[in-house]
Each structure stands twice: as structure tokens, then as C-alpha cells.
């Protein structure tokens, strides 16, 4: 099959300018939409796969799924063609390179990890809301735009939950490192398995440090047991957004008991002993003051009737049995996170020319 080169025009409209990278299924080019006069990324299916109808179908599916979604943290899909010998799709060109490149260059420190988490979870909430599981959330599928905003891409293996599987039987798709344990074991991918991948990805960006609330979120997202993970991207977002910044409080911990009296259940032997002592004292007093023996024996009997050990609830101060709780302290307002771009960059920005690479695998 013919090898594509720079300068070639596809569909009488998209001029290929520079090869950016070759990934698992396709080669991505920086191109120019000559009709609208704007840069585009053109993803051309590899010549080996272009002959395989199942890959062409997967490619078409990627284009259709992405075209049906719109979110500020997703890469926009513009066009698709399977007319020519080499099917291709045309999407928004994102010039800042991939998160994988940032991590490799140890320049992810220029990113605000809380904001990154919010952006990726927002993107996932959007695609999950459309019934789509991404299945391949990984750093090379997160592009960074001019404002350092994260843009999730590559719906190549994403598909609606109820769609017939188009992968061949037994074929494992997705990148192992980011793949949820249950998916590795053959379970179907779910929203929670996308969350796992997102957790591993965010964990890589944190390195040794990280804001405690993001560290706590990463722990929850990358729980081995899917049940322990947040139920949805939206839920994870809420956990993050309601977590006070710079606190070690674990996300998803049970709500603090501030709305109820703080109770201490006392089932104490001490209390029993005190009551017994009081009863003996009363008996002795009654005897001393010439009271009848019945009352004393009655009390004694009572003590032997197996009266349940006294259980009571006390407030922490032990001054009264019940108290009205102090009004809950107002939740600290979540600080408006700065945009990545506003954060002093710890490394230089990737110029468009340096975002390219020859091999796109992780
Ligand atoms: N819209 C885009 N704008 C700019 N560069 C892009 C765009 N889409 C992809 N790229 C670049 O092309 C590379 C290859 O992308 P591709 O999706 O084909 O492979 P990959 O994600 O690296 O690996 P895999 O095939 O395993 O998904 C990306 O790593 C990125 O550098
Ligand atoms: Mg990709």
C-alpha cells in the first residue's frame, strides 16, 4: 500500500504537514484543513490494519463516539472518511503534547494535580453519561492544550456499554499498567475500571508528593476491589470538590457525627459498682435508722435478679446524659483552583514542535 507523505491532501481538503507520531493503530499527522484554514490532527489507520474490516469498524466507531460527545476536556472530532484506501479521522489539533511526555520528562510538576483530577473526572463523567466506557485511559491519551488543560482522547477501544464487542475473542485491549485488576482477569470494563486507570494515571503525576486530598482520591480510585472505588466519576468529583484542600481527612470517610450528640456508651463495671455501693450505703443507713429488714433484703434481691448491667450514653464531658450538639462548623469553601497555566511552571512548556514523537506506545 502507498506510503503517505507530507504535502499530500486527503479528501481534497486536509493537507498533511508533519507526522506527529505512530501509535498502535494509526499514524497521527499535523494537518491543515484547507477549507476552514485551521490546523487539525489527522489520524490515518495503519496500512496493515486498513485491510482488516474489524479495525476499520473500530476506527469508525472511535470517530462516531467522539463526534457525539462534547466536553471542554475531550478532544473534538471533526470528520471521518473511509472512502479512500486509508481510512482517516480528523480531530482538533492539541499542541501541548501528551501527559506521557510530561511525566517522562518529569515536568508534570507544572500541572495542578487537583485541577488535573477534576478535568479528567469531568471528561469521564461526560463519556460515562453517554453510556461509553473509555477502556484505555492512560497518559498518552491525555493531551495538554495551550492552557495546559487536559484533553482526553483516543476512543479507539471505547464503546457503548451494551454494544457488541468488536474485539476478537480473548483479545485484551488497553494498556496493562493502567488496566483494572478485574479487567485483567477477564471481567468487562466498567465505569469503575476507567476510574481505576484514572487513579493510576493521577498517582503517576503525583510522584512523591501531592495535595493530601488528591493522594486520598488516588487511593480510592485505585482500590483493587471495584466496590471500594467511588461509584462513578461524578461521585469521585464530588468527593474531591467537597474535600477541604490541604487536609489529611480521608475522602469518603463516614460523615463526622457533628449533627448528633457525641455519645459515649458506658457499659461500665465502675458504674455498676457505684450503684451497688449506693445501694449498700442505703441499706446500712436504713438499718442504722431502724428501718425494716424487708427493704434491705428487697434491694439485695434486686441486685441478684440479673438486672441488666446499666448501659447509658454520656456526652464526652460526662456532665449530662444528652446534649444538643454544637452547630457544625461551616465547611471550608473549596478554593478556586488556579488554572494550570497560572501555576508557576516548574519546567518549560512543550513547544508544538517538540510534542511529536516517533513511537506513541506507553
Ligand atoms: N488530537 C491530537 N493533537 C495532537 N497530537 C495528537 C492528537 N492525537 C494524537 N496525537 C499524538 O499522536 C500520538 C499517537 O496517538 P495514538 O492515539 O495513535 O497512539 P497512542 O495513544 O500513543 O498509543 P495507542 O495506540 O496505544 O493508543 C499521541 O501520543 C500524541 O502524541
Ligand atoms: Mg492514543
Question: Which phi and psi (to 5°) does residue 331 adopt?
Answer: -60, 135
What pTM was computed for the model?
Answer: 0.69
Predicted local distance difference test score (pLDDT) of residue 327: 41
Task: State the Cα–Cα distance between residues 17 and 27, nearest whole angstrom.
Answer: 13
The DSSP string of 173-210 is: -S-GGGS-HHHHTTPPP-HHHHHHHHHHHHHHHHTT--
Predicted local distance difference test score (pLDDT) of residue 50: 78
Task: State the Cα–Cα distance between residues 189 and 124, nearest whole angstrom.
Answer: 14
Task: State the Cα–Cα distance between residues 106 and 235, nearest whole angstrom.
Answer: 30
Between the CA of 333 and the centroid of ligand 2 the distance, in Å, is: 37
Residues near 122 by beta carbon (within 8 Å), at least 6 away in sequence: 71, 72, 73, 233, 237
Ligand having the closest approach to the CA of 173 = 1
Predicted local distance difference test score (pLDDT) of residue 174: 55
Q: Indicate the top mutation candidate among 16, 17, 21, 155 to test ligand 1's pocket, ranked by most ligand atoms within 8 A of CB.
A: 21
151 CA: nearest ligand 1 atom: 1
Between the CA of 138 and the centroid of ligand 1 the distance, in Å, is: 11
The DSSP string of 237-275 is: HHHHHHSPTT--PPTTPPPPGGGS---EEE--HHHHHHH
Task: State the Cα–Cα distance between residues 207 and 62, nearest whole angstrom.
Answer: 32
Predicted local distance difference test score (pLDDT) of residue 185: 93
Q: Name residue 21's beta-bridge partners.
A: 28
Ligand having the closest approach to the CA of 66 = 1
Ligand having the closest approach to the CA of 91 = 1
Between the CA of 136 and the centroid of ligand 1 the distance, in Å, is: 12
Between the CA of 72 and the centroid of ligand 1 the distance, in Å, is: 18
Task: State the Cα–Cα distance between residues 228 and 237, nearest whole angstrom.
Answer: 16
Residue with cell 475473542: 169
Residues near 316 by beta carbon (within 8 Å), at least 6 away in sequence: 262, 264
Least Cα distance to 153 among 45, 48, 67, 36 occurs for 67
Residues near 214 by beta carbon (within 8 Å), at least 6 away in sequence: 113, 114, 117, 202, 206, 240
C-alpha to C-alpha distances, 68 to 33, 137, 358, nearest whole angstrom? 21, 19, 30
175 CA: nearest ligand 1 atom: 26
Where do the structural domains in the chain lie, given as residue ranges? 1-93, 94-161+173-246
Task: State the Cα–Cα distance between residues 334 and 312, nearest whole angstrom.
Answer: 39
**CATH no. for 1-93:** 3.30.200.20
Cell numbers that stand for 321 in this block? 446524659
Cell numbers that stand for 8 in this block? 499530500
Task: State the Cα–Cα distance between residues 136 and 261, nearest whole angstrom.
Answer: 47
Closest protein CA for atom 19 of ligand 1: 23
Could you tell me how many residues make up the chain? 362
Question: Which positions are catalytic?
Answer: 136
H-only helix segments in 37-144? 47-50, 53-67, 99-104, 113-129
141 CA: nearest ligand 1 atom: 21
Predicted local distance difference test score (pLDDT) of residue 153: 93
SS3 content of the chain, % helix, strand, coil (to 5): 35, 15, 45
129 CB neighbour count, 10 Å cutoff? 14
Between the CA of 23 and the centroid of ligand 2 the distance, in Å, is: 7
75 CA: nearest ligand 1 atom: 1
Ligand 1 pocket at CB < 6 A: 20-21, 23-26, 28, 41, 75, 91-94, 98, 140-141, 143, 153-154, 357, 360-361
Question: Which phi and psi (to 5°) does residue 215 adopt?
Answer: -60, -45
Task: State the Cα–Cα distance between residues 40 and 94, nearest whole angstrom.
Answer: 8
The radius of gyration of the chain from alpha carbons, rounded to an integer in Å, stands at 32
Predicted local distance difference test score (pLDDT) of residue 328: 41
C-alpha to C-alpha distances, 81 to 14, 29, 61, 90, nearest whole angstrom? 11, 15, 12, 9
Predicted confidence pLDDT, tens digits, the chain (362 residues): 667 888 899 999 999 999 999 877 789 999 999 999 999 999 998 887 777 888 888 888 888 888 999 999 999 999 999 887 789 999 999 999 999 999 888 766 678 899 999 999 999 999 999 988 998 999 999 999 999 999 999 875 554 443 434 444 445 555 789 999 999 999 999 999 999 999 999 999 987 778 899 999 999 999 999 999 999 999 999 999 988 765 444 454 444 444 433 333 344 454 455 455 566 656 665 555 544 333 333 333 333 333 333 333 322 332 223 333 444 444 444 444 445 644 443 333 333 333 334 333 33
Which CATH superfamily is 94-161+173-246 part of?
Answer: Transferase(Phosphotransferase) domain 1 (1.10.510.10)
Predicted local distance difference test score (pLDDT) of residue 83: 80
82 CB neighbour count, 10 Å cutoff? 16
Amino acid at each position: 500500500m502507498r506510503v503517505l507523505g507530507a504535502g499530500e491532501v486527503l479528501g481534497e481538503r486536509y493537507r498533511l504537514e508533519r507526522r506527529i507520531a505512530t501509535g498502535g493503530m494509526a499514524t497521527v499527522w499535523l494537518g491543515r484543513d484547507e477549507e476552514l484554514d485551521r490546523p487539525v490532527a489527522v489520524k490515518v489507520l495503519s496500512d496493515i490494519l486498513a485491510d482488516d474490516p474489524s479495525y476499520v469498524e473500530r476506527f469508525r466507531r472511535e470517530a462516531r463516539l467522539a463526534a457525539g460527545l462534547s466536553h471542554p476536556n475531550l478532544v473534538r472530532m471533526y470528520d471521518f472518511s473511509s472512502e479512500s484506501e486509508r481510512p482517516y479521522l480528523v480531530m482538533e489539533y492539541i499542541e501541548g503534547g501528551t501527559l506521557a511526555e510530561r511525566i517522562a520528562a518529569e515536568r508534570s510538576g507544572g500541572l495542578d494535580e487537583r485541577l488535573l483530577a477534576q478535568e479528567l473526572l469531568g471528561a469521564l463523567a461526560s463519556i460515562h453519561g453517554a453510556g461509553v466506557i473509555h477502556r484505555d485511559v492512560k497518559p498518552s491519551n491525555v493531551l495538554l492544550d495551550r492552557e495546559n488543560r487536559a484533553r482526553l482522547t483516543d476512543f479507539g477501544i471505547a464503546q457503548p456499554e451494551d454494544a457488541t464487542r468488536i474485539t476478537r475473542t480473548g483479545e485484551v485491549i488497553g494498556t496493562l499498567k493502567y488496566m483494572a485488576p478485574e479487567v485483567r482477569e477477564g471481567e468487562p470494563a466498567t465505569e469503575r475500571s476507567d476510574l481505576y486507570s484514572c487513579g493510576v494515571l493521577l498517582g503517576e503525576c503525583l510522584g512523591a508528593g501531592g495535595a493530601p486530598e488528591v493522594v486520598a482520591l488516588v487511593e480510592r480510585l485505585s482500590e483493587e476491589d471495584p466496590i471500594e472505588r467511588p461509584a462513578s466519576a461524578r461521585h469521585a468529583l464530588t468527593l474531591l470538590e467537597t474535600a477541604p484542600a490541604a487536609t489529611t481527612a480521608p475522602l469518603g470517610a463516614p460523615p463526622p457525627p457533628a449533627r448528633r450528640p457525641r455519645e459515649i456508651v458506658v457499659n461500665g463495671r465502675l458504674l455498676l459498682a457505684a450503684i451497688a455501693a449506693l445501694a449498700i450505703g442505703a441499706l446500712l443507713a436504713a438499718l442504722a435508722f431502724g428501718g425494716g429488714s424487708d427493704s434491705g433484703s428487697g434491694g439485695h434481691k434486686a441486685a441478684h435478679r440479673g438486672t441488666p448491667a446499666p448501659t447509658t450514653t454520656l456526652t464526652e464531658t460526662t456532665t449530662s446524659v444528652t446534649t444538643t450538639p454544637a452547630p457544625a462548623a461551616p465547611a471550608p469553601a473549596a478554593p478556586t483552583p488556579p488554572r494550570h497555566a497560572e501555576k508557576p511552571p516548574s519546567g518549560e512548556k512543550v513547544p508544538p514542535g517538540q510534542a511529536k514523537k516517533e513511537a506513541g506506545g506507553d
